[in-house]
Structure 1
Amino acid sequence: MASVFQSLPSESLRMQTNKTEWILFPSIYFGGLFPHLTYLRQQNRAMLRGPLTDYHDRRIINAYMLGLSAAECAISMEERDVISCRQHFSACVRESSFREASLPIKVMHYVIDNFHSSRTFHTFNHPSNDVMWHVVRQFLALLGLSMSVERPPVNQYLNDVTAAISLEMAEAVGLKFVDDEYSSHGVTIPRISLIEQFFRLYDSVADFPALCSANPAPNLGAPD
């Protein structure tokens, strides 16, 4: 993380103060429900931004690389590989749980208890208000304080992009809700329109295949 936050990772902060007590909590990240969601970093490491801000869908990328039309891409996104989705989900649970195992504040037990019935993450690094509330409660408890507000706000803080949870993933992990379209601030983005916007973006990128080759599938713990 030091390469991202430069002088502000927790190791550096420890060296800049004489405080002996620290409360550490994990990066609130879980990619288990989003096997297709990814970043595309350009050569200068800046994100390639598009209709979903920093996020891209590998199904759309693959369709573009194959020369499919937007309509053909939309159809291909309905294909299902339930076994791979289940394996991806399990691997992400293990990785995210391992990363927080030694920390006093934890997230994954709450996610596992609640992901079947409600959205716990909008994208792999944007948790729902409920998840953040759970973290705040633990933080306050460690300080000997109590939460003065009973429940989190209804309006989501981090839903500028809400990633689709594919039907194959919903089937793989037994979700009790369907949410297989992308949305922005709660407004659904029509699938064909989204694909067309991405295709136009990729048309504008010089040597897009090289960019894709430089962006292999991300690891399960967190994007680099």
Structure 2
Amino acid sequence: MTDSTFTIVGNCQSGPLARILQHLDPDLQYRSVKPIHTLGREDWEEFSETLRSVSFIFHQPIGDRFREYSISSLKAKIDRPIYISFPSVYFKGYHPWLLYLRLPTGGTLQGVLGDYHDERVVRSYLSGHSVLQACEVFDNQYTLAPNHIDLEFQNLRKKERGLDCKAWGYIYNHYRQNKLFYTMNHPANDVLIHIARQLLARVGHPLSHDRLKFVLNLKDYLSTTSAPIAKQVLLQGLEASDSGKYSRTVANSVSTWSVSEYISDSFALYSKTPDLEKILAFAHKRRQEMGF
């Protein structure tokens, strides 16, 4: 075990963060584990062996509902590496109506954007709207509280309390000028770079400004699924550039939808989805249970 080996225990943000860290410091040796939400009991032996082989475990705040994979459980069983925490960055400021439609049987309902659905569109379909009516409702019927963004940052700050690395301050200082999230949990590289720089400082690795310049010019790793910033949010003084379109990249092929196209294709999918209203209710229940 050397002072340059690390792994990351976390969600879909882990892989991109690891690549950024390796670009910033090629001396770091990454040993990957599966994202936390994909791990089963059958993965424990390989997972724990990887954790025992590294010097540093960078981790998100994995709670007790993940049982043996929770951070408290891992620290009790595997205490040799140094644990350094960073946030699971989740920001609904741009996308207040984007959500997963979790299924009672497990998994999520797949939509035009994969796991992600726009609740305004789901409710329009359930209300029997035409595509044209849904387009009119989309921006006009739904409103946000004037303190919507402030509440999001209160939540971010609260969730980062006690963590070694933070992101909320960086997001707060830059979200108006730059689009920092493609979905509520898919941040732009800029956010991950901010976290990576803190992790490097924590392990005592110097930052190369030449490498930082290179990394800042990389394509955003998590831009493969993107929803537009809600118009109601843009009207709260944002200057961030946004296409106003939905997009998804699969196997290097990019598909884009205008709002009306997205609504039309979503309606076609929902017409083949029995119990959509029950699925929506279950999704809200699960989101409350999970705390976001």
**TM-score normalised by length of structure 1:** 0.89
1:143-187 deviation per Cα after TM superposition (whole angstroms, max 9, x unaligned): 111233123243110011112111111112x11135232222476
> Match for 1:66 among 121, 127, 130?
127
Taking the aligned partners of 1:178 and 1:73, their CA distance within structure 2 comes to 25
Distance 1:176 1:80 in 2: 23
Q: Does the CA contact (< 8 Å) of 1:60 and 1:73 recur in 2?
A: yes
Structure 1 unmatched runs, 5+: none
1:54 aligns with 2:122: no
1:192 aligns with 2:252: no
> Structure 2 matches for 1:88-103, cutoff 5 A?
88-103=148-163
Rounded to whole Å, the distance in 2 between the matches of 1:65 and 1:14 is 46
Question: What is the TM-score of this pair, normalised by structure 2?
Answer: 0.69
Whole-Å separation in 2 of the counterparts to 1:80 and 1:97: 30
- For 2:274, the equivalent position in structure 1 comes to 206
Quickly say closer, same or farther: Cα 1:97–1:55, change in 2 above 3 A: same
Q: Answer whether contact 2:93 2:233 (CA < 8 A) is retained.
A: no
Q: 2:226 aligns with which of 162, 185, 202?
A: 162
- Report the Cα distance in structure 1 between the residues aligned to 2:274 and 2:95, rounded to whole angstroms: 27
Q: Is this contact kept in 2: 1:120–1:128, CA < 8 A?
A: yes
Q: Percent identity?
A: 28
State the shift of 1:201 in Å.
1.4
* 2:166 equivalent to 1:106: yes
Q: Distance in 2 between matches of 1:72 and 1:178?
A: 27
1:216 offset after TM fit, Å?
2.1
Gaps in structure 2 of 5+ consecutive residues: 1-61
What is the distance in 1 between the residues matched to 2:255 and 2:272? 26
Confirm or deny that 1:40 pairs with 2:97.
no
Query: Which one of the candidate residues 56, 63, 72 is aligned to 1:11?
Result: 72
Q: CA deviation at 1:28?
A: 1.6
In the TM superposition, residue 115 of structure 1 has moved relative to its aligned partner by: 0.4
Which structure 2 residues correspond to residues 84-163 of structure 1 after superposition, within 5 A? 84=145, 86-148=146-208, 149-151=211-213, 152=215, 153-163=217-227
Which protein has the larger Cα radius of gyration, Structure 1 or Structure 2?
2
Aligned length: 221
Q: CA RMSD in A?
A: 2.3
Greater mean deviation of Cα atoms: 134-143 or 160-169 = 160-169
Between the aligned partners of 1:158 and 1:222, the Cα distance in structure 2 is 23
Q: Determine the C-alpha separation between the residues in 2 that align with 1:187 and 1:87.
A: 34
